[in-house]
Structure 1
């Protein structure tokens, strides 16, 4: 029996993952900023679920949550950094306070969680750290520059972390979902206060008032949860787990374009070395 600590369990992928973990008999520390949104999980699984309030931008709450988890279950075997939200704005439109809060939640909140659980994982010489990214980190759509930047940073950090903790028996994995039927494009999606008319045909197309994707995404959160569990259980967990047919197709296209551009500029790349 493993113990999972999952952030952002109030809805969507975090909720689906918490339910799947508990239904298979593992322990789960289910967290959300509003603890009432996850208390039903603890009521349904009183012996194996612990519901806690957790804002990942609050260091005191992180310390308390990890402490309560260890007190209740003795260890944290899997950390899932799922807490986060979307933000849409052209780069020029981005509000400084919004962007700072976005990074505080999506990137620095995950870092804080990782630093809080690693001492215990190092002591037990085992553990898995899963960070939920987005295909947006690779395709970088217009209007999602800041959100994509938080997820690209998360992926890069996770890849380095994997190399650091691997010799200690710990694995790190980033998950790159495509479009799933969650609240990401609904109540969880934020945007800049003002729109600039010159970006109406690029970033403006993706503003909430113009987005028709919510509720029609191809991805099933329950199936994504099972895929994440399978990857965590695998002795060969990937560095990057891509989820969704749309994400797979998009990433394949991006990699093809990057390879083509790399080769087109090969001569320039190789020309910058010292020749002596």
Structure 2
């Protein structure tokens, strides 16, 4: 049975790849974009199953209005994929206030408000799946990525909490944590702060090597990653997290094991602050 998907940010990256694969499978996709130059061919090839909608996810009232319009005109939306977002690189000191505010509005607040907006409709229809595109950088932090990590660690906590709230309503939620992939995210849409010479040679500028294709491309295949994400829709119960890519998984496991060891070493410290009756 075919499904209807609502996906934000479908003009490039994972959003585009997911949309392309879903349409080829006969699914219906409502995809949000800021410009339609990259999806014109999809509109022409799938006039009955692809519907592009213009949306700036930093505009909360626009999110709410679009969600209401979509659900008012459809019997159901089966899957919502919160994908819109971008990377911002540079030391914390190098970032402008505007850059900080915009990435929070896009990656964090935009995702939160999209999810909040669809919840009443998914509850009413009695089913649904929400997929939030995150990154293994939602678990692992690197220098020069502070605000990107702030948005992804934030959305991970939000989704993990809301997933517990929605489970009784037959609404599953999944955080997708890909490693580096060969998409526009790294090679095109990434934004870089105005770099300060004081940070030259500092770990904060290590990302410059990563962003240069001459140093080797990312190992992740966006086609295969999109396939795994689509397959996850039919997994019940919904997996809370999906890590995609060997490098991402190994780095996540290593980081969490070190973090766990640090916590376990603090048992005496933690107990020393308890009230003993």
Q: Tell me the TM-score normalised to structure 1 length.
A: 0.93
Contact residue 132 and residue 174 of structure 1 kept, 8 A? yes
Aligned residues: 275
Match of 1:99 in 2: 100
How far apart are the structure 2 equivalents of 1:166 and 1:236? 9
Paired with 2:110 and 2:72, the residues of 1 have a C-alpha distance of 22
Task: State the 1:194 CA deviation.
Answer: 3.5
Q: Is the 8 A contact 1:91 1:146 kept in 2?
A: yes
Bigger mean CA offset, 43-52 vs 193-202: 193-202
Whole-angstrom CA distance in 2 between matches of 1:43 and 1:226: 23
Which digits, 9 at most, give the CA deviation of each residue in 1:83-140, with x for residues without a partner? 0000012122221110100000001001111122112101111111111111112221
Counterpart position of 2:244: 243
CA contact (8 A) 2:175 2:241 kept: yes
Cα shift at 1:40: 2.1
**Are residues 210 and 135 of structure 1, via their aligned partners in 2, closer, same or farther at CA, if it must alter by over 3 Å?**
closer
Distance 1:203 1:72, change over 3 A: same
CA distance in structure 2 between the partners assigned to 1:240 and 1:199 by the alignment = 36
Deviations 1:183-220 (A, max 9, x none): 1112211122232514532111214x773358711111
Could you tell me which residue of structure 1 aligns to residue 275 of structure 2? 274
Change in CA separation of 1:244 and 1:88 when aligned onto 2, cut-off 3 Å = same
- How much does 1:271 deviate? 1.8
What is the DSSP-based 3-state SS (H/G/I as helix, E as strand, rest coil) of the residue aligned with 2:206? helix
Moved more, 61-70 or 155-164: 61-70
Q: Does the alignment pair 1:234 with 2:238?
A: no
Instruction: Structure 2 unaligned segments of length 5 or more: list them.
Output: none
Q: Output the CA distance in 2 between the equivalents of 1:262 and 1:55.
A: 41
The structural deviation recorded for 1:10 is 0.9
The runs of 4+ residues in structure 1 deviating greater than 4 Å are none
Is it true that 1:136 corresponds to 2:137 in the alignment?
yes
CA RMSD of aligned residues (A): 1.8
Residue-by-residue CA offset, 1:220-239 (whole Å, 9 max, x unaligned): 11111111111111112211
Matching of residues 178-189 of structure 1 within 5 Å:
178-189=179-190
- Assess if the C-alpha contact under 8 Å between 1:29 and 1:49 holds in 2: yes
List gaps (5 residues or longer) in structure 1: none
What are the Cα deviations for residues 118-164 of structure 1, in whole angstroms up to 9, with x where unaligned? 12101111111111111112221000011011000011000001011
Q: TM-score, normalised by structure 2?
A: 0.93
Task: Return the alpha-carbon distance in structure 1 between the equivalents of residues 256 and 35 of structure 2.
Answer: 39
C-alpha distance in 2 between matches for 1:17 and 1:136: 21
**1:35 has 2:33 as partner:** no
